[in-house]
Amino acid sequence: MKRKLLITGAAGTIGSVVFKGLQQDNRYDVVGADIHADEKLGIVQMDIGDEARLAELTQGIDTVIHFAWIKDDGDFLGKVLAGNVSGAYKLFEAAVQNGVRRMIFASSNHATGYYRTDEKVGPHDPYRPDSFYGLSKCYIELLGRLYSDQGKISSFNIRIGNFPGDDRPHSERAGHIWISERDMLQLIVCCIEADDGLKYLNLYGTSANSDNYYNIDYLEELIGYKPEDDATKLLELAKATGRNVRQDETIYQGGQQA
Ligand SMILES: NC(=O)C1=CN([C@@H]2O[C@H](COP(=O)(O)OP(=O)(O)OC[C@H]3O[C@@H](n4cnc5c(N)ncnc54)[C@H](O)[C@@H]3O)[C@@H](O)[C@H]2O)C=CC1
Ligand SMILES: O=C(O)[C@H]1OC(=O)[C@H](O)[C@@H](O)[C@@H]1O
């Protein structure tokens, strides 16, 4: 039987690529949902704050892939807490009520953005959020930890590096954290298909960048993730062909200067 997937934020930069990729994979039946419905693309309407709609959409779902996000870090009490964090809670509740097997959450490199750029960071290093945005990602990761420890759902948090939407790295910083479209799709499939015994996982989502800030090597053995692209090489090529590469090396991995 096909696995039934729900993708939130399916009209967004990453969600649209993943939605299209998974629709073409005959192992899956995919429902794409977003606050901006798109009839042509088959994306249904859903507001992450609407509990009744979430209860409806999570029925019969095997795996939820949660990308929906309101990008406004300036409004901590409103958009961040009352929007994104509360929305994630409502989604988890609906998923658990409907017996969803696994939640894959689009976390971010900014959950640990205050590590220095000369450090190599792995999933067991302590949180070091560099913004309210990063902090809210930590909070939602821990929501997943709680539900997982309670035995209610398997919960994976992918700390995505940089996915700009045109499938190429644009800056020195991206050279350390970028992920290509095909690697993102592969990683999502690996997370969906990972052993049911894996109840909780934090991982960094990047391509095989030669200068990665993060340790991702163990993922091949653990979940079969074998990234094919390397931002460092692509940036060298870009420079050689005269394309502009932003010089934005910073003190901290998340891009903060102080
Ligand atoms: N693009 C990147 O480089 C990175 C993205 N991420 C995370 O990945 C996720 C997706 O990122 P992008 O695709 O870049 O963002 P995006 O802004 O392009 O997509 C977000 C989608 O969520 C939808 N949305 C917003 N509010 C909603 C609501 N109340 N209910 C339902 N849908 C709603 C938007 O309409 C949009 O289609 C986000 O959670 C983001 O924090 C993490 C690290 C890096
Ligand atoms: O750090 C980065 O480059 C990216 O990190 C994120 O978490 C953001 O969602 C994305 O808009 C940034 O571009």
- Nearest-CA residue for ligand 2 atom 3 is 162
Angle between helices 13-23 and 181-193 (to 10 degrees): 60
Q: Is 112 in the pocket of ligand 2 (CB under 6 A)?
A: no
Asked if residue 247 belongs to a domain, the reply is no
**pTM given for the model:** 0.98
| φ/ψ (deg, to 5) at 167 | 60, 35
Cα–Cα distance for residue pair 162/183, rounded to 1 Å: 12
Asked if residue 257 belongs to a domain, the reply is no
Asked if residue 193 belongs to a domain, the reply is yes
CATH number, domain of 172, equals: 3.40.50.720
For the segment 212-226, what is each residue's pLDDT rounded down to a tens digit?
Answer: 999 999 999 999 999
Q: How many CB atoms lie within 10 A of CB 200?
A: 16
Best residue among 13, 107, 110 to mutate for probing ligand 2's pocket (most ligand atoms within 8 Å of CB) is 110
Closest ligand 2 atom, residue 133 Cα: 7
How many domains, in total, are found in the chain? 1
Which ligand is located closest to the Cα atom of residue 38?
A: 1
Asked if residue 165 belongs to a domain, the reply is yes
* pLDDT at position 11: 98
What's the domain range around 20?
A: 3-240
Asked if residue 36 belongs to a domain, the reply is yes
Cβ–Cβ < 8 Å for 129, 113: yes
For the segment 113-159, what is each residue's pLDDT rounded down to a tens digit?
Answer: 999 999 999 999 999 999 999 999 999 999 999 999 999 999 999 99
Asked if residue 27 belongs to a domain, the reply is yes
Asked if residue 214 belongs to a domain, the reply is yes
Q: Which of 114, 115, 133, 204 is catalytic?
A: 133
Catalytic site residue 28?
Answer: no
Asked if residue 152 belongs to a domain, the reply is yes
- Nearest-CA residue for ligand 2 atom 4 is 162
* pLDDT at position 74: 85
What does pLDDT average to in each consecutive run of 10 residues of the chain (258 residues)?
Answer: 97 98 98 98 98 98 98 89 97 98 98 97 97 96 98 98 96 97 98 98 98 97 98 94 89 90
Provide DSSP, 161-197: -B--SSSS--BTTHHHHB--HHHHHHHHHHHHHS-TT
